[in-house]
Amino acid sequence: MWEILAVVLLGGAALGGLLKRGRHTHEWETAARMYGLQAVDTPNLWHLPLKTGAGQAVVRIDTFGDEGRFARIVVMVPGPPDFKTVRISREAILHWGREIEMGDVSFDSAFFIEGPTGLVFAVLDEETRRLLFRAGTESQVEISNGELRAEMSYEKVPSTLPLLLDISQRLARPLDIPRRLAENAQQDPAPGVRLQNLRVLIRELPEDPRTAEAVRVACSDPSPAVRLRAAQELGAEGRDILLELAESLADDTVSAEAVSILDQTLSFERTRAILDRARGVRHIQTARVCLEALGRSGAAAAVDALAKVMEEEEGGLAAAAAQALGATGSSAAEPSLILALQRELADLRVAAANALGRVGSAAAVLPLKEAAERSWLDFEIRRATQQAIAEIHSRLSGASPGQLSLAGAEMGQLSLAQDGAGQLSLATDPAGQLSLGNAEDPPEEA
């Protein structure tokens, strides 16, 4: 057991309020004895000593409000270095620091936390969070500037004081940050907290041997998210874990991230199999990532696979398949994308137009114009189709926007020549030739 000296300081008005409440004074003393403290009365303060071995904490209790109906307890904690920079409160108002999410949903929703990340995660283990959460239900509790403060109704002091001293004991423990983070990463019952502690270890202490050990232990964690982060850190050594996470589909977000990390190391067949299963169980994130991977794969069969998804799906996945078809860069995708322009799904039509801008030929220009005319009130579709047409024109061999060519070097040719702005030519033979000549040529006499 550590040592603590708790000093209760009472100002004039507060002392008067206390003396009016002899019953509550007795309750305070009873609470102190139950906690192992010995209350000693003096004219203006109480000493609450507890045999220790690691320093002192000081407790001040003030009363306020009408006739001292409320109490404020302040515990000055001899915490670890930088502890004064830690702030934990019920409100986020007027806070300027970056909020820290512990990964404990209930605790994160109850408290705003800021301070050195490693220190915060090291001190806020399961028991400390539990005690703080309980104190928060009894009082308005806050930690800042090295102090633990709580405000409550006067009657709750006897039950809240021991709780706050328990918290101060835990905050004042000797602290080995790497060891504590590793313990939290392996032992905390909240998967999110284990994941966050593992991330802090990897980010802030990558060379510490306890980080490497925590990563290896995390590969067997019950949480897919924790296993994912560990496998990602292991690189090639973690590939089998990533494959298992990608194919298990136990968690849509995790499976999607695993597929994304594996990327082109996944075979076309394996990616398509994951896509089919993800569509079956409606894991939309995983399906989207698989579609993107197929679009980048360069596999000849990718176009047919993506076109099938685009045809069968509605909404977001159909549009994602259209985008992936554009990413293939294959002209074989054009017919399916032209058909998609006729669907009633606005997002799909926009995606199909964008994709045709990448893979479409002159054959797509008229369908794009018709799609724009059918949706003349939809600015996004009109913009996408106009952009697609411009991109197609820019790709036509030897053409530039606005250039028209109907034939080769044969009689009756109509073209806009490349070497004369605005030149019109019908034939290369002088007979019957109609042209807008070079501006430098003199006009013929009548």
CA-nearest of 69, 73, 72 to 21 is 69
d(CA 55, CA 239): 49
Distances (CA, A) of 334 to 149, 304, 398: 68, 11, 21
Q: Provide the token pair at 342.
A: 């006729």
CA-nearest of 155, 138, 158 to 30 is 158
Q: Provide the token pair at 11.
A: 């100002």
Q: Provide the token pair at 249.
A: 């589909």
Q: What is the pLDDT of residue 419?
A: 43
The strands making up 112-114's β-sheet, listed across from edge to edge, are: 58-64, 70-76, 147-153, 140-144, 87-89, 112-114
Contacts 24+ apart (CB under 8 A), 145-150: 145/84, 146/76, 146/77, 146/79, 146/83, 146/84, 147/74, 147/75, 147/76, 147/77, 148/74, 148/75, 148/77, 149/72, 149/73, 149/74, 149/75, 150/72, 150/73
Q: What is the pLDDT of residue 61?
A: 75
Helix (H) / strand (E) containing 82: none
**pLDDT < 70 positions in the chain:** 1-57, 68, 92-98, 397-446
Q: How long is the chain?
A: 446
d(CA 296, CA 327): 6
d(CA 67, CA 227): 57
Residue 73 three-state SS = strand
CB 181, CB 106: distance < 8 Å:
no
Which residues make Cβ contacts (< 8 Å) with residue 308, sequence separation at least 6? Answer: none
d(CA 345, CA 429): 52
Q: Provide the token pair at 104.
A: 């404990």
Q: Which amino acid is at 363?
A: A
Q: Which segments within 42-153 are labelled E, that is strand?
A: 45-50, 58-64, 70-76, 87-89, 112-114, 140-144, 147-153
